Structure 1
Amino acid sequence: MTTKSALSSKLALYLVTDNRFVPEGKSLKDVVESAIRGGVTAVQYREKEASTRKMIEEAGELRNLCRSCEVLFLVNDRVDVALAVEADGVHLGQDDMPLHLARKILGSGAIIGITVHNDLERRAAEQNGADYVSFAPVFATSTKPDHQTPLGISGLEQLVRAATVPSVAIGGINLDNVEEVYKTGVDGVCVVSAIMGATDPELAAQAFLERYNRARAHH
């Protein structure tokens, strides 16, 4: 089992993949590899369009890469894909498979994270045995246009204070606002377009980590 503090440090800079940002002539693995070189500590494979076979192929490649770099590797929503590629665990949304069933399938050693939008959902996730929670969305974001009302920094801060498991924040986080987000005491931030869509994902990841270290120094 991963201890709470060990998991917290693994969540510091959490990359969520999105194939729409992969530049022509590069593979998803190329982009993720570059981001890991820059210091990404966790990778979540998120894919909504591809066939199951394609997902298993891509997720398997990323899992091998993450394992060799000692980076946490999770699969979004698809418990079957996570199981097939022996991922470290899954990340579930409020409409995905219930946590207790995912736990039954993946076993007690799997890391299971849940997206929560308010305190009620946070409490339920913790009671049901989530290993970490993801507070969403902090700011408005174009990668998920149908999202809930943004929490803002003060809303995030309240949820972080109340959390009894490690927490991450997602939604519209970029280099301009990430330091403020880290200062709420959240264990990590989830980034999609600001790294996936960067000209140089390695440099982008490094810049996020610099702000993480700066925020931690002042916290």
Structure 2
Amino acid sequence: MSRRVVVLTDRTQVPAGRSLRDVLAAAADGGLTTVLLREVDLPDDERAKIADHARTCGLEVVAAHRAVVGCSGLHLPSGSALPAVATRWGRSCHDRADLLRAAADGAWWATLSPYATTASKPGYGPPVPAAAFAQAPLPVLALGGITPGNAAAAREAGAWGVGVMGAVMRAADPAAVVAALLEAAG
């Protein structure tokens, strides 16, 4: 993960009249360099096509849950087994203990969520305390409810960067939202 803003995909949040490919291209135009490809309900060949398109936009692609050919890494769900093959990998975490386990298991990064109340996952749970981001044992992306308005606060709390889904997927102007996030997150 090369930048402090990573966008997670969710094609179900993309407004009518636009495609996930459109959003990825616009996000790249806004300065995004890394995308975490979710779409875990799709077959692997469909996910590979999305990853190929993202790479043509200049994006580094990290696959969620299971490997996708050509992706630079793998992001695993909380509590999942370690990857069978050597690769850069991260893990979804939901508290400080999860972060410590991810670091001990050899993760290169983690997401810690939810940072704030999130429209993408209503009722997901209370936000993690800001103190959970302080002095983390590995690079941590604050995830959940991240917007240009709170990205700087997440970094000030100790997050290495931010992971964003809904604010970009649902945006009328994904490039502008990404540019604002990059400015806020440093």
1:145 to 107, 114, 122: 122
Q: Which residue of structure 1 aligns with residue 72 of structure 2?
A: 88
- Tell me if structure 1 keeps the 8 A contact 2:162–2:185: no
Query: Which of 3, 12, 19 is 2:11 aligned to?
Result: 19
Residues in 2 aligned to 1:160 and 1:126: alpha-carbon distance in whole angstroms? 14
Q: Residues of 2 paired with 1:185 and 1:41: CA distance?
A: 21
Identity of aligned pairs, percent? 29
**Structure 2 stretches lacking a partner, 5+ long:** none
- Whether contact under 8 Å (1:117, 1:148) holds in the other structure is no
State the partner residue of 2:162. 189
CA deviation string 1:91-142 (max 9, x = no partner): 11225x412xx2x2xx32x221111111211111111111101111111112
Task: Report the alpha carbon displacement of residue 195 of structure 1 after superposing the two structures with TM.
Answer: 0.8
Mapped partners of 1:178, 1:162: distance in 2: 18
Distance in structure 1 (CA, Å) of the matches to 2:137 and 2:59: 23
What amino acid is the match of 1:98? Answer: A
1:210 is the counterpart of 2:145: no
Within the candidate set 57, 60, 64, 2:48 is matched to 60
Task: State which structure, 1 or 2, has the greater radius of gyration over its C-alpha atoms.
Answer: 1
Structure 1 or 2: larger helix share? 1
Q: CA deviation at 1:194?
A: 0.8
Partner Cα separation in structure 2 for residue 145 and residue 112 of structure 1? 27
Tell me how far apart the structure 2 counterparts of residues 92 and 128 of structure 1 sit (CA, whole Å): 12
Q: What does residue 72 of structure 1 align with?
A: 60
Give the TM-score of the pair, scaled to structure 2: 0.89
Normalised by the length of structure 1, the TM-score is 0.76
Is structure 2 residue 120 aligned with structure 1 residue 167? no
**Contact 1:12-1:41 within 8 A present in 2 as well:** no
Q: SS state of the match for residue 134, structure 2?
A: helix
| Residues 162 and 210 of structure 1: CA distance in aligned 2, closer, same or farther (over 3 Å) | closer
Instruction: Give the Cα–Cα distance (whole angstroms) in 1 for the partners of residues 109 and 3 of structure 2.
Output: 9
Cα distance in structure 2, aligned partners of 1:138 and 1:74: 21
| Aligned partner of residue 75 in structure 1, secondary structure | strand
Post-superposition shift, 1:48? 4.4
Contact 2:136/2:158 (<8 A) preserved: no
Match of 2:88 in 1: 111
Distance 1:47 1:22, change over 3 A: same
CA deviation digits over 1:7-60, x for unaligned, max 9? 4xx14111011111223333211111111110112111112443x1xx532x32
Shift of 1:70: 4.7
Name the CA distance, whole Å, in 2 between partners of 1:184 and 1:41. 23
Provide structure 1 residue ranges, at least 5 long, that are not aligned to the other structure: 1-6, 214-219
| Deviation beyond 6 Å, 4+ runs, structure 1 | none
